[in-house]
Amino acid sequence: MSDNEMMDKEEIFSKVLRAGRRTYFFDVRATKAGDYYLTVTESKKFTNDDGSFHYKKHKIYLYKEDFVGFTEILNEMTDFIVKEKGEEVISERHQKDFQKSYEKDVVENNGHEAEVIASTESFTDVSFDDI
């Protein structure tokens, strides 16, 4: 195997960011021509009902000619989010057992189950896809 083929297979520099069920891998790799590029991989762990688990991965490739534009837009977007919503994380919405306050709750009343539904009059349900 030639040196270029070896460089294409190897990671030159790597960092890992663990974030709950997600892990982000940042890897510098080499092209066949010997130039460098960046891969960013999101790996998310999913647990099956039987206790086994699997991972879903998404990867982007970022080349040097796109670094400046990518960095500018990423900084602009992250600054906007922090400015609009602050740095506090609303993590409970991502918990598996999270239940919205307006969803019905089942409570026990004298040994019988009773449904309790909170008022939804002043609530606006907004749903965003996980990015």
The pLDDT mean for the chain works out to 75
List b or e across 36-56, with b for residues whose CB sees 16 or more CB atoms inside 10 angstroms. ebbeeebbeeeeeeeeeeeee
Query: Whole-structure pTM over 0.75, yes or no?
Result: no
62 has a pLDDT exceeding 90: yes
Reported as a pLDDT band with limits 50, 70 and 90, residue 92 is low
- Which pLDDT value is given to residue 93? 57
Structural domains of the chain, ranges and CATH numbers in brackets: 3-95 (3.10.450.700)
127 has a pLDDT exceeding 60: no
Mean pLDDT of 97-103: 49
